[in-house]
Amino acid sequence: MNVAVNIGTKVREAYRRIAEADRPEVWIALRSEEEVLADAEAVDARAAAGERLPLAGVLVAVKDNIDVAGLPTTAGSAAYSYEPAEDATSVARLRAAGAVILGKTNLDQFATGLVGTRSPFGAVRNAWRPDRISGGSSSGSAVAVALSFVDIALGTDTAGSGRVPAALNGLYGVKPTVGLIPTTGVVPACRSIDVVTVFARDLRLGRLAAEIMEGPDGVDPLARTAVAQPGLDAAPRVAIPTPEHLEGLAEGWADAFARAVERLAQAGVEIVEVDISPLLDAAQLLYGGAFVAERTAAVGDFIREHPELVGNDLDPTVAQIVLGGDSASAVEVFRDREKLERLGLEGARRLEGTVALLTPTTTWHPTLAEVAADPIGANSRMGRFTNFANLLDYASLAVPAGAVDGVPFGVMFTGPAFTDRRLAELGRLVADAPLDVLVVGAHLEGQPLNHQLVAAGGRFRARVRTAPSYRLHALPTVPPKPGLRRVDEGGTSIEGEVWTLPASGFGNFVAALPQPMAIGQVLLDDGTSVAGFLAEPVALEGTDDISSHGGWRAYLASRAE
């Protein structure tokens, strides 16, 4: 089979999706389609010459604090921008394995934030719910994967930036042990604990990419070689937080976490509750202690030299955080270092005998408006379970675990340094929990788009009807499909089907939905609710209301007659 044809087809499809999605805030620099197609042809030539290319044709987006030769590196600031002479080590290793780079993605400026809104290039909206945040700082990378623009994307993670956006967009977030992937060619946030990460819809591919990038490069003095770890025992023990540490989760998230724990238990894993107070106290030191001075060391001089840019090219919240390290003394740094070491020792003692800690990845999923109203407070809630990992030299893996009220929910496994592969084994046990989705039109059994459900692993479960509070409209699309909307009055019951998909397939399926379709909670006539297809109200203006037919099949039958 000709590799170039396949890669070229993927490239063209990717650019078609990018154009149709109308998400310009995802990218800071997008290469031309012709340039990327030329790279695809080069990969084909290498494969034809017999070169082993484990990532042949894998499409990649790169967070714009990681160097890609031929594209500027901005770190989210046009004034900071520079032209790198060569690829970052991580990027070079992906290219060497056959990967094709599409472009550079948006981020919370200087990788400072977990919200995805702190960028002069625009706030990156969530892939599933555009009124909500994408999560940061690797915002554009996560959304590029979730919307199927690319197969994988590189991010960075200091406080959780490779995990929080994964959870909020229904992805895997692979955060390796600190130092496993060299940070050569990465604009530092906190140099000693920065990690290059991978976003993926498929865990196998995400782990493969991470492993290809591993290993010292002779340039990064903090790079390390992986230490072999044993696999999981027949009945491994996994820690979960005691109930008080799960307080304050978004509505429905505690129940979703409990279901993930139950799936793990059903897979033969022993669950043990652990008081993780020392780890959460350590997390507070990342921004609440002297360690923020490392951010000041990274880009503080640039911000101080350009005060006139604050509020324009320089995000005011980012500037405030970065320059906050100016007040930290060397004595305070050493005191906080000792405090961190003691908390880490106590945390490790409490986790002794377990192979990993399972937590929700984050605590809530705010709207863009909520973050704008309280940028620092809203952000601080995001990192409760992520902030301590790099400080204390843990590996982590964010895993999609379903959806709550039509919004992705994710969990996270965290374990000692070099347990990356073990965490992946655990991730596979919890990730593919089945999820139900209601379809009412072109995805019904026998309809032209039903194959997409089947390809995502879907199985027909039941024919159902919605509660009598919906209207159905015929949309002018190819192929024809309806749009379902909920109304306060004058609604009727609409026929549909419930299909069951694995969590990973659900994420892929939803990511591929074209506008104006979206996923939301739909109330059924038996009083239960299920994730289902809805249409954006603006798309229904001027369309035919076909609710009187009671469903899409009946409408099609009436047209045939």
CATH classification for the domain delimited by 3-230, as one of 3.40.640.10, 1.10.8.60, 3.90.1300.10, 1.25.40.10: 3.90.1300.10
Report domain extents, the chain: 3-230, 435-560
Task: Give the separation between CA 458 and CA 119, rounded to whole angstroms.
Answer: 38
Task: Give the separation between CA 457 and CA 448, rounded to whole angstroms.
Answer: 17
Q: Taking Cα atoms as reference points, which of 318, 394, 399, 393 lies closest to residue 362? A: 399
Alpha helices, H only, 74-202: 89-96, 139-146, 164-168
pLDDT for 4 equals 41
Bridge partners of 360? 411
Q: Is 5 helix (H, G, I), strand (E, B) or coil?
A: helix
Peptide bond preceding 137 in cis form (omega within 30 of 0):
yes
- What residues in the chain have per-residue pLDDT under 50? 1-5
pLDDT for 272 equals 98
Tokens of 431: 């990730």
Q: Which residues are catalytic?
A: 63, 137, 161
What does the radius of gyration of the chain's CA atoms come to, in whole angstroms?
Answer: 24
Judging by beta carbons within 10 Å of its beta carbon (0-12, 13-18, 19+), is residue 339 exposed, middle or buried?
middle
pLDDT for 5 equals 45
pLDDT for 515 equals 65
Task: Give the separation between CA 369 and CA 547, rounded to whole angstroms.
Answer: 34
Task: Give the separation between CA 127 and CA 23, rounded to whole angstroms.
Answer: 9
pTM of the model: 0.83
Contacts of 250 (CB under 8 A, 6+ apart): 363, 364, 365, 404
pLDDT for 328 equals 94
pLDDT for 432 equals 59
pLDDT for 512 equals 66
Superfamily of domain covering 435-560: Gamma-glutamyl cyclotransferase-like (3.10.490.10)
